[in-house]
């Protein structure tokens, strides 16, 4: 309860921060995108992971306000980077399914794009598989697609029946979950799973990116099997905006 009250005040107290993790195209040898990751710098508890406070934010409804704050901040930041670097990158922002329940959501997103001047084609939204998604939520995702925003399925392969998900949902990209990547050197089943998921992406004409890549062996295996877009500590850890600009300027 106390945590919930504190979370409600986190925005006005300036306790929320966004860090950025580069996404690399191994064929180009360049950064091609950036994921925005939320951090809560709690006054007494220190940094708290979104994995630990997003469920609470969803429960108490603050997720709508927090989600809007992250989206605006990330779009504004990407527009600023685009002014400073010649090659435009994409920005991925995580979305809670609960944000799609807000009937003004699509309108809010378009307003943020207009306000920040970021073109929709440079924005991607990441959403975790959820079979229980309602028709209205699917409609909201379709509207985002119509605006020109890309939709990526996060943690692909770890939740519900992924294939029927792809048939129903207006997605453009799959994010290969880090649990499979972790097993590249040790687990035949994880390797088989990765190959199967890459094949699914190809069949459905979807883009694919692997997350949680920590070693050269993992990166080599992914690239050799057709997944050249990679996000993970092997290349870059999440970093602040200033460090991100330096990484971009070095990469492009």
Q: Which one of Na ion, ligand G, none interacts with residue 124, CB within 5 to 8 A by kind?
A: none
CB of 176 to Na ion, least distance (A): 12
Please report, to the nearest 10 degrees, the dihedral formed by the alpha carbons of residues 122, 127, 131, 137 taken in order: -60
Q: Which one of ligand G, Na ion, none interacts with residue 49, CB within 5 to 8 A by kind?
A: ligand G
Cα 107–chain centre separation: 20
Does 155 sit near ligand G (CB under 6 A)?
Answer: yes
Q: Where are the beta strands (DSSP E) in 57-121?
A: 90-95
**φ, ψ of residue 22 in degrees (nearest 5):** -65, 150
Pick the binder of ligand G from 62, 229, 238, 248 (CB under 6 A).
238
Residues 97/130, Cβ–Cβ less than 8 Å: yes
Q: Which one of Na ion, ligand G, none interacts with residue 155, CB within 5 to 8 A by kind?
A: ligand G
**Structure-block tokens of residue 214:** 């920590």
CA dist 35 → 31, 196, 239, 241 (Å)? 11, 25, 10, 12
User: Strand, helix or coil at 204?
Assistant: coil
Pick the binder of Na ion from 58, 68, 126, 177 (CB under 5 A).
126
- β-bridge pairing 30-42 and 90-95: parallel
Query: Between 190 and 229, how does the x/- string for binding to ligand G read (CB under 6 A)?
Result: ---------------------xxxx---------------
Does 151 sit near ligand G (CB under 6 A)?
Answer: no
Does 70 sit near ligand G (CB under 6 A)?
Answer: yes
Does 47 sit near ligand G (CB under 6 A)?
Answer: no
Size of the site for Na ion (CB under 5 A): 3
CB of 246 to ligand G, least distance (A): 19
Does 49 sit near ligand G (CB under 6 A)?
Answer: yes
């Amino acid at each position: 309860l106390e945590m919930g009250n504190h979370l409600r005040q986190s925005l006005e107290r300036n306790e929320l921060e966004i860090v950025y993790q580069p996404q690399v195209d191994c064929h180009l040898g360049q950064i091609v995108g950036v994921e925005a990751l939320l951090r809560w710098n709690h006054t007494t508890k220190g940094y708290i992971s979104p994995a630990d406070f997003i469920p609470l934010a969803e429960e108490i409804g603050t997720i709508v306000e927090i989600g809007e704050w992250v989206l605006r901040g990330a779009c504004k930041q990407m527009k600023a980077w685009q002014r400073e670097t010649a090659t435009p990158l994409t920005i991925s922002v995580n979305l809670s399914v609960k944000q799609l329940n807000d009937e003004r959501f699509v309108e809010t997103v378009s307003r943020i794009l207009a306000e920040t001047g970021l073109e929709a084609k440079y924005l991607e939204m990441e959403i975790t598989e959820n079979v229980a998604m309602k028709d209205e939520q699917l409609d909201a995702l379709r509207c985002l697609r119509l605006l020109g925003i890309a939709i990526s399925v996060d943690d692909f392969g770890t939740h519900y029946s992924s294939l029927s998900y792809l048939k129903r949902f207006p997605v453009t990209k799959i994010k290969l979950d880090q649990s499979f990547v972790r097993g590249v050197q040790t687990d035949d089943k994880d390797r088989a799973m990765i190959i199967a998921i890459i094949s699914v992406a190809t069949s459905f004409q979807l883009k694919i990116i692997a997350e949680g890549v920590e070693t050269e062996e993992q990166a080599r295996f992914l690239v050799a099997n057709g997944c050249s877009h990679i996000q993970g500590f092997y290349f870059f850890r999440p970093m602040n905006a200033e460090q991100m600009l330096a990484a971009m300027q070095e990469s492009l």
